[in-house]
């Protein structure tokens, strides 16, 4: 069984996970910029039947690209290792599995939201988001007593 979080645990983890997400997005964005730069160079070489290439600069850019891609992958892996599900990396859409009345539901958060305010059943996805209700404020132990 995968890890589950109470609303309080998920809310407490949110700043850490958000920082990781932003770091991963920045690395991914940088990799995208470098990839475009390398594609433009390849295109120029192709169009002109070759061109003078500063091999040192090109190698440095390639190493920087590889490092950015790896940093983005490592950050994603770190978020997933915590137990948080990444639903959309670019949009910053994350789900925190949570037990509600014996069933696993997903506490849903999107980058830019101040706190976790929504949930949905696993099969409903983002489109099925509903506002949190009073059931989420109690721990499993409190509901059983």
Which among 101, 92, 74, 104 is positioned nearest to 3, based on CA atoms? 104
pTM (two decimals): 0.82
Q: How many helices (H) and strands (E) does the chain have?
A: 3, 5
pLDDT digits (tens, 9 = 90+) for 27-82: 999 999 999 988 888 887 777 776 667 778 888 989 999 999 999 999 999 999 99
Domain boundaries, given as residue ranges, for the chain: 7-82, 93-144
CB 105 within 8 A of CB 117: no
pLDDT of residue 138: 56
């Amino acid at each position: 069984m995968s890890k589950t979080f109470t609303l309080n645990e998920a809310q407490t983890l949110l700043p850490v996970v958000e920082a990781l997400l932003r770091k991963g997005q920045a690395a991914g964005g940088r990799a995208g910029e470098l990839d475009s730069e390398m594609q433009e160079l390849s295109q120029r070489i192709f169009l002109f039947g070759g061109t003078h290439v500063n091999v040192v600069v090109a190698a440095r850019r390639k190493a920087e690209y590889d490092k950015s891609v790896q940093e983005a992958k490592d950050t994603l892996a770190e978020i997933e290792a915590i137990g948080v599900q990444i639903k959309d990396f670019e949009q910053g859409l994350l789900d925190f599995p949570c037990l509600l009345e014996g069933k696993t539901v997903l506490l849903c958060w999107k980058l830019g939201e101040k706190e976790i305010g929504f949930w949905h059943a696993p099969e409903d996805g983002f489109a099925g988001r509903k506002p949190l209700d009073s059931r989420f404020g109690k721990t499993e132990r409190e509901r059983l007593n």
